[in-house]
Amino acid sequence: MKEDINKLKNNNDSNLSNDEEEHSVDDEGSINKDENNNNNKEKKKGYEKIIEDIKEENKNSYVSKISEPMLKKKYLKNVLKILDYVYYAKLNSSQILKTNNSLDEEKQKLLKKKLIVIGLTQVIKCIRKGYSGIVLIAIDVFPINIICHLPSFCEQYKIPYTFVTTKNKLAHLCKLKRSITCLFILKPDIHISTYEQTINQHCPKKKIHNYQKLYDKLISAVKKNHPFFQS
């Protein structure tokens, strides 16, 4: 009888410990999920805050008569993501070029690749040379004759364009101090994967990914936003 009671007690203790273990695993899993969710929420909140700032900036600033179409709010995140990518890609590639003297010429040339061109003169020159991409234009350029020819020029060369925000805000999004009239986001070439791999190999803590995907999403958004490019 005593043996049966002891066996029953041991079984209960065993079941209890198993329940405790399962409970602790569940708790740990939920904590990890919560942490991931919090990180995603913080990132999402970061972009949402910037989008609200852009909306407020546009509301309170001068908007030229030619600033049509302005990029809709729902597409602004695509702009923010690709500009973030460009900034960190440039930061990482510059650091690699400065600290790695043993890089071969091919990799050095690859890391000097431009993903973005800034300024009206440079943008026009780039388009005339036959480069493809997306043009983002400031809404508050004055006098408007500085830039009024750019939309028709882009249409002539079948380059999707859109008006986004003010010159100063556009500069802020690019992490620059000087104001920006317009910028040209270059279409990724066949070497973009090698470019990303090279940077990630030397900067594993600050990896960059999916420029092609970011570009495709943005160009799709800009075309949807503009009647000229929907045909």
pLDDT band at 143 (very low <50, low <70, confident <90, very high): very high
> Which tokens go with 76?
């602004």
Average predicted confidence (pLDDT) for the chain: 85
Residue 97, pLDDT > 70, answer yes
Q: What is the pLDDT of residues 16-70, one digit of tens each?
A: 444 444 333 344 344 344 545 555 555 567 899 999 999 999 999 999 999 999 9
Domain range list for the chain: 1-60, 63-230
Give the fold, CATH level 3, of 63-230.
60s Ribosomal Protein L30; Chain: A; (3.30.1330)
The predicted pLDDT at position 34 comes to: 53
| Short-list 71, 211, 25, CA closest to 133 | 211
Residue 179, pLDDT > 60, answer yes
| Residue 48 CB coordination number (10 Å) | 13
- Residue 70, Cβ density class (10 Å: 0-12 exposed, 13-18 middle, ≥19 buried): middle
Q: pTM for this one?
A: 0.79
Percent above pLDDT 70 for the chain: 81
| Short-list 145, 152, 154, CA closest to 184 | 154
Are 185 and 82 in contact by the 8 Å Cβ rule? The answer is yes
Taking residues 70-86, what's their average pLDDT?
A: 96
